[in-house]
Chain A
Amino acid sequence: MSFVEIISELVLMPLIAFVVGLMMVLMMRKISARLQRRIGPPFFQPIYDIVKLYGKDTQVSHGLIHDIGIVMAVGGYIGAEILLPVPGMEGIADKGGIITLSYFLMIPSLGMALGVGQCANPNGSIGISRALTAMLAYDIPFIIVVFGAAWHYESTSLIGMIEYQQANAWGIIEMPFLAIAGLFALQGMLGKQPFEIYIAPAEIATGPMVEMSGKYMGGLFVMQTFQLYTAGVLYASLFLGGGESWLDLLPKAFLVVAIPMSIAFLFPRYKTEDLIRILWKWPVMLALIGLAFIL
């Protein structure tokens, strides 16, 4: 791998993720608007939001850790994007595997949790407490799914998994149960209804975001773009055969994100304990059945 390649991957991969993520955010809001029979935001609304937030004249910081939290949240995702193989750019991604990636995805949460903690706002802490609890809930099915996929593809490298699928059949065909369980986990991972108790705007004032202003909030918006992108591409790589080209990958990724979004806005939200209960019951059961089929 040449130096130029490395540099281009390092720069391009997060950038692409950001742009695609912006579109996914737009899509998400459009879906919600359409489902509510609204027109929804204009095309550039996600950019307006982010530019506006970064362009705020004043913003408050509760201390260094508050800042570092945002840096970790965004930076962790940027790292994760690099580890996520996409068509044409899989050089660096080869250095990590699915395990590394799933641990990478915890770093933004940890960073955000630290930053929110420093804000000294109990609403934020409650939000973090719920978010971590939710993580505990959706990670169990997710990890079974990851295990099943890795076992089935006989590889922990995402590239290897994609290659396997492109050579054989898509994961969703060979492992339908795991794929459905993965969708459940995805819903939780994206923190969308019915699993968005940790945001709970009316109750705990958007939880972790309560003290975020200006570019802090902007950072979180950027993080959201990355989050959607990661979810879409990761799921597509695990079950939908990744993509040989961008034209192949992007529709899959958008589709993957669109499914939870369409479901999300039809639901109210679960309480924390119900959230755990439901995520530990159905997806885990499905995942275990799926696992039993492939083992």
Chain B
Amino acid sequence: MNHLILLVVLPLLSAFIIPVVAKHSLTISRLIGPVVLVFILALVVLSWNSVGSNGFAIFLGGFLPPVGIVFYIDHFSLMLSGLIAGMLLIVWPWNSYVAPRQYSLYMLLTAASFGLVLSADLFNLYVFYELLAVATYGLIARQKNPAAAVAALRYLFVSATGSAMLLLGIAIIYTLTGTLNIAHLATMTDQLHGLAGLSAFALIVIGAGVKAEMFLLNTWVPEVYSTIETPLAALLAGLISKLATVLIIRVLLMLFQQSEVLQMLLVVGVFGVISGEMVAWRAKDMLRMLSFSSIAQLGMIFIAFSIAGEVGLWIGLAMMLHHLLVKGGLFLLADKMQGSFDNLRGYAKRSAMAVAIFIIFILSLLGIPPFPGFWIKLMLILNLAEQNNTLYHYAIGFILLATVIEAAYLFKLVRYLFQDEEAATIVSTPKSLTFWYAQIFALVLLVSLAFISPISNRLKDMASQVANPDIYINTILPSHLSGGNP
């Protein structure tokens, strides 16, 4: 099972090899990335069944925790890995002739993502997080759009500050406990539940929250998403933000599962939802609208995660997947339907298919039955209602209000799309690969409708795995450290 280490190793290697190979053969260097990704995808799929319900750990170099580097693998992380690989394949710059350096940046990003998913060690998490950040700086800065450079700079500043805080938080934790292994930390949570521990947690959340598009930390989002090319935006919005969320969730679940913390997450989530939707309502162009909407969706995911226990987790996971699918699809679609709303007037006549897909996506996004979005939103709301805390009940109100605003702006756009005036100043783009992907996304969305029950069961299983710290601790830690638990 240790071959799963290749998930991190192969992309990392290929990232360094690509520039070298490129000097000899450009074609081969271009092929390396996809090949690696396809291989990884296959690896993930093949090893799905062999991973048991308890997950397992890979100890790098034979050093055992808490000293060694540990990768923890369960269905959750495997699923995320598969998604990473698939997503990257989708956004892979097939058509454009870009410098090999960019390929290696992509591969670096891949490696960092895998690492982030798999690491069971705070320091490693930080390292991969930084790696991820660096790769994204590069990718954003490489955009031809001059505005993208400014955005990248903004992103760099914010992200670097965030990383510093993350590091600070980790350092505090290390000072408190002397270890960075999450499983090990999880056995001594009582030491963390103090002023210093909570401060550390706050710093970690703020640091990771930058990438997770958490409210007040997400000021970079609109600039970046609306200036970079759309597949990349799809990647960032769809995937990277989720990875950062996963980081927060890991830390939260293992170390700081307290009602105050959860409530804080809820408040942040509510603000994210409201602010995202409201600003998206004012947006005048597609990408900006989608990016703010993405902020709101992330807020919603935070709200889901703020529900204690498995329920919140599986709803959050479902939301993540749904958002990945829908927002990713929308960004991919936006590759075709770019620009301000005025340019999109009468788009329905130019490409009925694109508009149809667009409407399917937004209906699911809004949570209109029978689309998957509805079931997720329904579960979220019903479960929020079940909480005994009025804060959660208020959150329902905000979610519902946000949905109304969301509908307002999305359907304002739909109105533009169906307006029959002669505008169409932008030349209709040729049938691009991204459009096909968007269609596939939509298809997946529709097909998933038939499998709501199995999918939700899987997610519940996954959630129960993730939510149970004992499994994690027992798998990773040697028994003398795990406090005698079996």
| Chains A, B in direct contact (C-beta < 8 Å) | no
B-binding residues in A (CB < 8 A): none
